[in-house]
Structure 1
């Protein structure tokens, strides 16, 4: 992850209320049962996600108390010992946030993104942000290419805005609801469904999955039985903000806005030809998962990433089955492969455009590519209940083997729910992955992380980058130590020059597929 809390470099730490447990309203949310070991693991993950708490906003609060990016600034710290910057050095930037009266803030909790980039080289890398909990932050970068590199710091949310987002999840985890249609003959009824259903006198239909234990409920129709449920769809969204809180979420004003430099915003990086020791200015040795150079993603995680032509893609996937599971950001991968692979054709399964499932075939080269969306909560249009299946159950049905590639990407549709809902879903998938790898160790399992996106009010309250950041960190924690490969969509979207988008632009998708295929067909010795 790209965030750390706590004092460094002798910066004093103020006393703040940092909760040890990030939770939600348990009174009307139901969670999948987990083992005692998983309970301890979940607690540790929740504690790792604890975010500095801004004092609760009062109904008559003023924007004077919130962040002013125009007054905030960042400063590039000089190289320790002086001299030129070299490839491999650690560059550190100090950031100071101010309020709307341009006074330095005295508490942390803001959401910042940082990247280093060189437009002429199509080069970019994400930075590691450290919150000193007193209004100041550090961004640490590893210098990875030669030439002039520019620092960019973006304020995603103020700490006050984060407090609103946190409160919404605590108090209104059901602010996005879902519907199901029940049908018997000519009779139809629709009712509200959710994993968080507020108490009412209406009886409930319990659709908890028998095998995984994942809970799901619908209000029972008045005149039909629970067994007559035929579909699932997104319902209504309820926005319940307090007075003036919308002012905390204004794009290019106090949300997704760049912070200016108080001096030079770039450095000149050279090759270390004098065999000088690399600078270690920062006490945090930050190694990103990769970086862009000339538009291509270069991994620093051990597997060399190659640029695959359509013909090379076909050769790599010859005789293989690629099964993609998740949300629309995984569906993008299916669509990309369908478009680029020269001999692959979509097999018409007569399913819904958003939810699938989909299948594509290259009969000549014996290639199969499928996509399945994950089970509720999924904020898609209408899908038949028979076609919406839990990923863990699907994985348990695979024999696996060296010709099987499994990709999982699940995060965006869980943003409005308690973290426990997401963590336990991912734990369930992990259990199925572990079982699959136990019976077929040569199976390749790839996990796609969350990514940053464009934000406006609705998107923020349902899919904020802060929500995604938290789930991204939880996803990595759950799969730590499991023999899976990672496509770091977070860093790949932060580091790229293209605008943030929940559905990354084609050049980013191309690089993600190159990573996937490099895992599938690694170079000898990599």
Structure 2
């Protein structure tokens, strides 16, 4: 019997050991679970990839008179989230350019980028005709090949293509197709007789686009920070602002100026002993975020403006004989018309629409006759402020800013009392990169639309894009969904009100903050948002891409802006 006690002791010890392990594991799991439910003051959710829930458009006409002056104070509002799902590509030749790793181990990103550009070439499609007539379709194929003749082109490069004649100021865009096999096609419609030059530009290789998208993923909202300034006697009190309270890095309460009906998120730090509802000045802070890794700047050309170089090819020009007139049988201009991929062309520097029969004014009297009795409400960014500025000059209107307003942001008001023409402009609410401007003058576009009674003599012009390129696309989508809902409400109470959407235009600038690729992504969302609605699209993107006699600019030159306005007037007083 004494010998039998040892197995019993071993079983008891084993049982106690298992019990202690189970108790320890239970305590550990409880501790983890307990920690997971504890609130975090500023959860780092801005880098998650969960999409932003889109606010449901309100069906009522409820308006907020001064939406950015909310009194709501919340210490930890819900942060914005980026849904960008691209990987996190490092800036090494090995991983950015795997096709050359192992073959040229000492090659730099700059060397490869230059080498790749030289290998890109275009040619006419093999079955293209030798003789061309107006109305024909021209197809150009392009790719990059190495010395052995093998295709090494990226999939997902960003190109722009157009045909043009500088002498006659003629131009039209080409439609680019990425066949996902290393080859691309640019398709053109031949729209004028005579000399036609072909140009295909590489704006960004795929590797540059991946870097841009990575910066969106890493810094979805804090590329640019904003400030609300209070003037208290001689003292200046600055509080940082942005669309996500998490980037304010504060444990104190913040002022919540968000407006779901307008599709807006906006937060500012709460200044000590100052009410959130106290008026101040809106401004921006200098950019301090480092976005690029070593060597990546070489992917973007001088000044980070993008490569934007014409690739070589043959033939670079063709001659076109007269044929079918592309301008016959055009329909009358009216809202809701579909916009084809090639929606017009320049000839003699004048825009000829393929959407409808557009107008061309030759003198001031014709402008006045068209706009007599009309009120034009322009709202958005500075590219539509150009419409206001040009109409003031063309019609010799008497204009003035409202009290305490600045010209850059408005509100601006101009009138011709003899012909009863009124033109207004105001910028959209934050985010807005501008000089110091009074916060009570900044209103959100959806709310401004809700305040317009509308009617057959009212024209509403909207352009919202230039100040959203530093944010995830879904944040822009929220804003545009709210604007779309406001337009629907406007048309419910006044179906005759003409609503005009001005698209983005090509530009030059830091491609990580405000470049063509980022603007183009927003433009695609805008077109999707308003497709099928009873609105007019002024396709400034195509009108700036089609011409080659001016460089890209955030503010297009006067001759282009006038063509945009003449197209607008084609719907105000249609032929």
Q: Normalising to structure 1: TM-score of the pair?
A: 0.83
User: Cα gap change, 1:83/1:250 in structure 2, threshold over 3 Å: closer, same or farther?
Assistant: closer
Deviation of the 1:157 alpha carbon = 1.1
Distance 2:273 2:84 in 1: 46
Q: Is 1:486 aligned with 2:537?
A: yes
Q: Is 1:191 aligned with 2:239?
A: yes
Equivalent positions of 1:75-474 (< 5 A) are 75-80=123-128, 82-97=129-144, 104-173=151-220, 174-184=222-232, 188-197=236-245, 198=247, 199-209=249-259, 211-237=261-287, 238-251=289-302, 255-272=306-323, 287-342=341-396, 344-350=397-403, 351-455=405-509, 459-474=510-525
Show CA shifts across 1:11-46 (max 9, x none). xxxxxxxxxxxxx94559996752399xxxxxxxxx
Show CA shifts across 1:140-197 (max 9, x none). 1111111121111111111111111111111112111110013455554101100034
> Which of the residues 547, 554, 557 maps onto 1:502?
554
> Which of the residues 559, 565, 568 maps onto 1:516?
568
Distance 1:310 1:322 in 2: 17
Show CA shifts across 1:104-132 (max 9, x none). 43431111110001122211001111112
Q: Which one has a bigger Cα radius of gyration?
A: 2
User: Cα gap change, 1:256/1:59 in structure 2, threshold over 3 Å: closer, same or farther?
Assistant: closer
Distance 1:99 1:428 in 2: 50
Query: What is the total number of aligned residue pairs between the two structures?
Result: 473
Distance 1:98 1:452 in 2: 29
Distance 1:99 1:506 in 2: 44
Q: Is the 1:454–1:500 contact (alpha carbons within 8 Å) kept by the matching residues of 2?
A: yes
> Residue in 2 aligned with 1:14?
none
Structure 1 gap ranges (5+): 1-23, 38-48, 274-285
> Residue in 1 aligned with 2:77?
none
Distance 1:382 1:29 in 2: 35
Structure 2 gap ranges (5+): 1-44, 59-82, 95-107, 325-339
Distance 1:72 1:114 in 2: 14
Distance 1:347 1:207 in 2: 29
Higher fraction of helix: 2
Distance 2:50 2:282 in 1: 19
User: Cα gap change, 1:449/1:110 in structure 2, threshold over 3 Å: closer, same or farther?
Assistant: same
Deviation of the 1:83 alpha carbon = 5.0
Distance 1:253 1:229 in 2: 37
Distance 1:54 1:220 in 2: 36
Distance 1:119 1:29 in 2: 48
Show CA shifts across 1:39-97 (max 9, x none). xxxxxxxxxx999x7982344653155463223111122554x4521222211111113
